[in-house]
Amino acid sequence: PEIIEHLRVEHELSNVSFHTWIQPLKVYDVIDNTVFILVNMNASVEYIEKKYLLPLKVCIAEITGTEFEVAFLSEDDDRIDELQNMAIEANQKKKTKSAAEKAGLNPKYTFDTFVVGGNNNFAHAASLAVAESPGEVYNPLFLYGGVGLGKTHLMHSIAHFILEQNPKKKVLYVTSETFTNEMIEALRMGKTPGNESSIEKFRDKYRNNDVLLIDDIQFIIGKESTQEEFFHTFNHLHTSGKQIIISSDKPPKDIETLESRLRTRFEWGLIADISAPNYETRMAILQKKIELDHLEKYKIPNDVLEYIATNVKTNIRELEGSLNKLIFLYKLDKNAPIDIALAAEALKDIISSENNREVTPELILDIVSEHFGISVKDIKSNKRNAEIAVPRQIAMYLIRSMTETSLKAIGVILGGKDHSTIKYGVEKIASEIEEDEVLSNTINIIKKKINPA
Ligand code: ADP
Ligand code: MG
């Protein structure tokens, strides 16, 4: 009704045309990007379409802020049945989507978007087999490989696939960090009267699943109680035939901090490694990314792609990052063509970080930003909300304790803060990790990401 009123006012319709043509229109349904409008029996769809389609589209866009397609239907239109089916389908899609969301999955990480090459075909095949028959073939499935080589992407693909087959399946994806922190939190809460059941709730959450995916198990470090709890979770799921999928940066035998009973269990199923992609696979990944992100319009010359694929070898996240950086630089100055010189500029930081991973304040900032999912710019800003201020203090603390940077220099790196602000931040984190186990676990994990042993 709001749209119809808007149309009347904006287009100065006469009363008679308004009452004859527009007022009887009803919105039948909105599916994906199309508004279907039902035209009553006495009016002609052709006529309304000719005269009012465009004004209606404009009004809808003005009011909703989104551009919709508009389609008219007459009451005897055959498409109405079809539409009902579409509506049902769209609804089901939404349901799988929310199941995927609930499971904590990135919608972009599916088998469709995963490029298979010699480096990952075994891990890919094993993942697909597990996705097709969870709990029946390889249990657990243990995926390992270096940073940025597609472990998380594959795990999400498995979870998406299972939920698409059957949205009712209980699928839980977490990092080992989340598992650890939630356990610490549950134990802590359980000590306060009235909350004794918090550890039960924690156990239910992890045991009551058809499929449990634990990412980056190498970060269950040094914590006996966490490993003990995970051991029981594992046994519970495994004996009831539920699927477990684990990822790590190393094979079980090389994770030194892992208890041997867990190590043995991780070796019960199938262990699959992912290694660095070869040149052809790197090119294929770049092509796939161009297709998925609709970057064809930039007409990136082949020699530029070859240049990137030649120089970024060991981390697919950085391979993708170089393409983003290239487009970013191009947009910044459209007079510069997309050529090898621009690509070299885009790759500057990435190549040096691939070759020498010295622990620098910049590296620490990058890793802290990635860990918390916030930008380096925000870390350097003056924003005071906790989601940013706490990571900022963690960055201060880590730079201070892992590099030889003075408080004053840290202040400069962090966007011009004075040395007392840095001192305060460093000391605050140092004293809080003494008491706050979740914080100290988080910091240990970030340290491991900065300095993988
Ligand atoms: P890991 O968990 O091993 O550190 P990710 O799964 O996060 O790595 O992958 C890093 C990035 O590279 C992601 O954006 C992912 O989509 C992409 N990626 C990794 N492997 C592939 C592949 N084989 N095909 C397409 N994209 C990939
Ligand atoms: Mg990962």
pLDDT per residue as tens digits for the range 389-398: 999 999 999 9
Angle formed by the axes of helices 437-450 and 386-402, to 10°? 60
First to last CA, the chain: 64
More confident residue, 284 or 22: 284
Angle at the Cα of 187 from the Cα atoms of 186 and 189, rounded to 5 degrees? 65
What is the pTM (predicted TM-score) of this model? 0.74
Handedness of CA 187, 189, 190, 196 (dihedral sign): negative
Average pLDDT estimate for 261-268: 93
Instruction: Decide if pLDDT at 79 tops 80.
Output: no
Give residue 25's pLDDT.
81
Would you give the DSSP letter of residue 114? Answer: P
Dihedral-angle region of residue 32 (phi above 0 means left; psi in -120 to 50 means alpha; beta otherwise): left
Give residue 321's pLDDT.
92
114-118, 157-161, 257-261: segment of lowest average pLDDT: 257-261
| Integer Cα distance of 84 and 172 in angstroms | 33
Q: Is the peptide bond before 301 cis (omega within 30 degrees of 0)?
A: no
Give residue 172's pLDDT.
95
Would the CB of 150 count as within 6 Å of ligand 1? yes
Would you give the DSSP letter of residue 255? Answer: -
Give residue 385's pLDDT.
92
Amino acid in position 112: D
Q: Read off the pLDDT band of 17 (50, 70, 90).
A: confident
Contacts of 3 (CB under 8 A, 6+ apart): 56, 59, 60, 63
Q: Give the helix/strand (H/E) hosting 27.
A: strand 26-31
Give residue 354's pLDDT.
60
Q: How much distance in Å is there from the Cα of 280 to the middle of ligand 1?
A: 16
Q: Is 78 helix (H, G, I), strand (E, B) or coil?
A: coil
Contacts of 141 (CB under 8 A, 6+ apart): 126, 127, 130, 243, 244, 245, 246, 269, 270, 272
Q: How much distance in Å is there from the Cα of 317 to the middle of ligand 1?
A: 6
Q: If you average pLDDT over each of 46-50, 75-79, 98-102, 163-167, which comes out highest?
A: 163-167
Residues near ion ligand 2 (CB < 5 Å) are 151-152
Query: Would you say the ipTM is above 0.85?
Result: yes
Please, are residues 107 and 153 in contact by the beta-carbon 8 Å criterion? no
Average pLDDT estimate for 321-342: 89
Angle formed by the axes of helices 316-332 and 279-292, to 10°? 50
Residue appearing with tokens 């922190």: 181
Would you say 152 is a known binding-site residue? yes
Q: Is 385 helix (H, G, I), strand (E, B) or coil?
A: coil
Residue appearing with tokens 């006495």: 42
Q: How much distance in Å is there from the Cα of 12 to the middle of ligand 1?
A: 55
Q: Read off the pLDDT band of 356 (50, 70, 90).
A: low
Give residue 82's pLDDT.
77
Residue appearing with tokens 């190498």: 218
